[in-house]
């Protein structure tokens, strides 16, 4: 009966997931994140708190919640972060409030966080985290992407390369690693991972009841 079918499928609520995209700068993470948010209305960006100064074009509350060091430290002490880390001299943290309730309601979140944050999330909420790492296709391409202006000095470029290489060294803390040699191919892979992860048994809260119904011999 139709009404019975509806009541069974109605129990199949899914728990949300935490989709983490990490990469060194120059591997195309920002482009992939934007494309994903545009293409998939079921995933929302987790907006971090940071002590880094706001950059031109950034919007407070959308790109980050910008704050000062004293306020950040107080939030750490009050346990307001799911994870936090110091990255290249600035502090970044994921506010706990928006996430916990969202996951419960089936909301997926996209995280642009570094390897330290990914490690903390994985330790705290392993079943909820889908950690994905993007790699640049080659050293030459990485250098090209990190050379933003013809005026960048050799020293500035060497500094960016060293940072990128130190971030790359944490690739093995991730379940998925994608070499981003073509944006569209990389994006397609990201979407495939997300689609498959949404179907994991652990995320399908109502399965036990649903399967019991299917197994009823008198149905
Ligand atoms: P940017 O200052 O360029 O926006 O970000 C610098 C680095 O900080 C990036 O690698 C980014 O992934 C990382 N990051 C941004 N927000 C967070 C956060 O909430 N937690 C952690 N652990 N890293 C973050």
The pLDDT of residue 8 is 52
For 166, the domain range is: 2-46+106-216
Any domain includes 72: no
The pLDDT of residue 11 is 63
pLDDT 10s per residue in the chain (219 long)? 444 444 455 567 899 999 999 999 889 999 999 999 999 999 999 999 999 999 999 999 999 999 999 999 999 999 999 999 999 899 999 999 889 999 999 999 999 999 999 999 999 999 999 999 999 999 999 999 999 777 888 998 999 999 999 999 999 999 999 999 999 999 999 999 999 999 999 999 888 888 999 999 876
Any domain includes 125: yes
Any domain includes 17: yes
Any domain includes 81: no
Query: Which tokens go with 14?
Result: 């899914």
SS3 breakdown of the chain: % helix, strand, coil, rounded to 5? 50, 20, 30
Smallest CA-to-CA distance from 176 within 194, 201, 163 is with 194
Any domain includes 148: yes
For a pocket test of ligand 1, which of 117, 124, 146 has the largest count of ligand atoms closer than 8 A to its C-beta? 117
For a pocket test of ligand 1, which of 57, 76, 113, 169 has the largest count of ligand atoms closer than 8 A to its C-beta? 113
Any domain includes 70: no
Count of domains in the chain? 1
CATH code of residue 148 = 3.40.50.300
Any domain includes 57: no
How many distinct helices (H) and strands (E) make up the chain? 9, 9
Residues having CB within 6 Å of any atom of ligand 1: 48, 52, 83, 85, 87, 92-94, 112-114, 116-117
The pLDDT of residue 9 is 56
For residue 152, the CA-to-ligand 1 centroid distance in Å is 23
| The Cα angle at residue 37 between residues 130 and 30, in degrees rounded to 5 | 80
The pLDDT of residue 88 is 86
Q: Which residues contact 4 (CB under 8 A, 6 or more apart)?
A: none
pTM above 0.85, yes or no: yes
């Amino acid at each position: 009966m139709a009404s019975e079918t509806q009541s069974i499928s109605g129990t199949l609520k899914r728990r949300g997931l935490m989709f983490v995209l990490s990469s060194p700068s120059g591997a195309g993470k920002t482009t992939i994140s934007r494309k994903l948010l545009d293409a998939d209305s079921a995933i929302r960006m987790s907006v971090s708190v940071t002590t880094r100064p706001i950059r031109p074009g950034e919007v407070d509350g959308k790109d980050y919640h910008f704050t000062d060091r004293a306020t950040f430290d107080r939030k750490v002490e009050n346990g307001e972060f799911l994870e936090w880390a110091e990255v290249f001299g600035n502090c970044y943290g994921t506010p706990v409030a928006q996430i916990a309730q969202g996951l419960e309601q089936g909301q997926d979140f996209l995280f642009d966080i570094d390897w330290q944050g990914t490690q903390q999330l994985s330790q705290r909420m392993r079943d909820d985290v889908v950690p994905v790492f993007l790699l640049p296709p080659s050293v030459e391409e990485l250098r090209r992407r990190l050379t933003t202006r013809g005026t960048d000095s050799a020293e500035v470029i060497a500094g960016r390369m060293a940072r990128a290489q130190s971030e790359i060294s944490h690739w093995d803390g991730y379940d998925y690693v994608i070499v981003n040699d073509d944006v569209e191919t990389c994006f397609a892979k990201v979407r495939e991972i997300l689609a498959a992860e949404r179907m994991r048994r652990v995320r399908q809260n109502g399965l036990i009841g649903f399967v019991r119904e299917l197994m009823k011999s008198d149905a």
